[in-house]
Amino acid sequence: MKPAARLSSAWVGSIVLLVSSSIFLSVAAKGGSPQATGPNIVLILTDDQRWDTLWAMPQVQSELVGRGVTFSNSFVVDSLCCPSRASILTGEYSHTTGIYKNESPNGGFGSFQDPSTLATWLHDDGYHTGLIGKYLNGYKPQNRTYIPPGWDRWFAVTQGRNNNESSYYYNYSVSDQGTLVSYGATDADYSTDVFAGQADTFIRTTDPAQPLFLYMAPAAPHGPAAAPTRYAHSFSNLTPYRPPSYNEANVSDKPAYIKSLKKLSSLQRKQIDAFRINQYRTLLAVDDAVNTVVTALSDTGRLADTMIIFASDNGLTWAEHRWREGKLVPYDESIRVPLVIRYDPLTATARTDDHMVLNVDLAPTIAEAAGVAAPGAEGASLMPLLAQNSTDWRDHFLIEHEQGNDTVPSFCAVRDSQHLFTTYNTGEQELYDLAADPYELTNQISNPDEAQTAASLRTE
């Protein structure tokens, strides 16, 4: 059973109830059968990748963007790794999964209820399932013998050899079918490449008569963003990133946690520039992994009948609003993510879709493609959009955050195509006109001309 929703205050509950009555669209999945007959499904999920970085990945461009649907308005409903991954596995919002943080209580591997996930739905229908890479935050070496239900192949990275993020790329350990295996600091140990090799083997050794579900989740481009040797000098001449919101000059209309931030120093700006370059370098290794997966699917005759989904668990700021290399916040840089889907029977011609889609939509999409039910899913299947069928669709959505060991107060936000409205448990509020102010520089909450807009969004 899923844990009860953990809502920090009554105002959160009221917004959640209002949103759930007006936002969520229910798309019925087809009934499953004892012998799986659906397409192969590959989900590639990166870690902290911004929506505006796909240009730097040539294999993703040629094999996915050039042969699929790019969703230009793709968002997450809780911009933090573990809550987002829990939503991707279940199709549920954080107020349903109970996962608000990366660690317990109310978050992390130990708090996630896993009897009903994508893995169990597809496995029970006859799919050969495999997870390679990152599962959930808090999956530690001492958990290694535990393999969640539904996974036939389990190659899950633990939370670093010393349970820290610095071991995401080198000097890490994995649970290989329940046995702890440690990797070192050589080029051959680079985690993205190791995961690519495991994915290649999984695809090539799966019974040709059995459809597969591969969930590959590299650590890249999560900090510290350690680049592989072969790409150590790539992007060295990358132009610094300086949008109008970068190191924002005037944050007097922002909430207190932003107002408390000093402007970045010259050293800090250089550090963020270097981090950004290293993120791009790590993504080149992910790009190689995409090529490995596509090649294996092609070599085994599966590619024409495979849905490939490329996404990220959340976005990341590069010092917009003075927020350094961060997430958690309701601003676009944090909640917006890349999403590309290639499925040759429906996406033979490359195109862009501007519907507002969410990470909670991935589970029901995969379920409908496979022909199985998605019990409890609160998102909507993207299959009608892939098929270009006329369908009613959401025009706004809920974002939520519960404060943990961070400085961002708990909040609920509603975003539509033109506005972002956020209410914090501190009583602070933000309202941005995204059409006139796409960089979210001017908080309109005190503007009497926008009072009706704020009131309307408050009750969505």
Read out DSSP for 65-125? GGGSEEEEEEE-SS-SHHHHHHHHHHS--HHHH---BSSSSSBSGGG---SSSHHHHHHHT
Digit-coded pLDDT (tens) for 298-355:
999 999 999 999 999 999 999 999 999 899 999 999 999 999 999 999 998 999 999 9
Instruction: Report the b/e string of 191-210 with b at 16+ CB within 10 A.
Output: bbbbbbebbbebbeebeeee
Give the CA distances from residue 335 to residues 90, 230, 431, in Å, rounded to whole numbers and listed in that order.
19, 31, 16
Alpha-carbon gap, residue 376 to 421, rounded angstroms:
27
Tell me whether the omega of the peptide bond preceding residue 221 falls within 30 degrees of 0, making it cis: yes
> Tokens at residue 54, please?
């796909």
Structural domains of the chain in order of their starting residue, each with its CATH number: 29-398 (3.40.720.10)
At residue 24, the pLDDT reads: 37
Cβ-contact 450, 440 below 8 angstroms? no
Q: 3: number of CA atoms within 13 Å, CB side?
A: 21
Alpha-carbon gap, residue 144 to 157, rounded angstroms:
9
Digit-coded pLDDT (tens) for 198-230:
999 999 999 999 999 999 999 999 999 999 999
Cross-strand partners of 246? 320
What's the helix, strand, coil split of the chain in %, to 5? 35, 20, 50
Cβ-contact 318, 246 below 8 angstroms? yes
Residue 275 region, left (φ>0) first, then alpha (ψ -120 to 50), else beta?
alpha
Nearest partner of 116 among 145, 96, 139, 138, judged by Cα: 96
pLDDT in single tens digits along all 460 residues of the chain = 333 333 443 334 443 433 343 433 333 333 334 578 899 999 999 999 999 999 999 999 999 999 999 999 999 999 999 999 999 999 999 999 999 999 988 999 999 999 999 999 999 999 999 999 999 999 988 888 999 999 999 999 997 544 455 689 999 999 999 999 999 999 999 999 999 999 999 999 999 999 999 999 999 999 999 999 999 999 999 999 999 999 999 999 999 999 999 999 999 999 999 999 999 999 999 999 999 999 999 999 999 999 999 999 999 999 999 999 899 999 999 999 999 999 999 998 999 999 999 999 999 999 999 999 999 999 999 999 999 998 899 999 999 999 988 899 999 999 999 999 999 999 999 999 999 999 999 999 999 999 999 999 998 8
Alpha-carbon gap, residue 451 to 198, rounded angstroms:
55
Helix (H) or strand (E) holding 298: helix 266-299
At residue 460, the pLDDT reads: 82
At residue 160, the pLDDT reads: 54
Read out DSSP for 372-391? ---TT--S--SHHHHTT---
Please state the separation of Cα 28 from the chain's center in Å: 23
75's CB contacts (< 8 A; 6+ apart) are 335, 336, 337, 356, 357, 358, 359, 397, 399, 415
- Residue 359 three-state SS: helix
pTM > 0.75: yes or no = yes
- Residue 336 three-state SS: strand
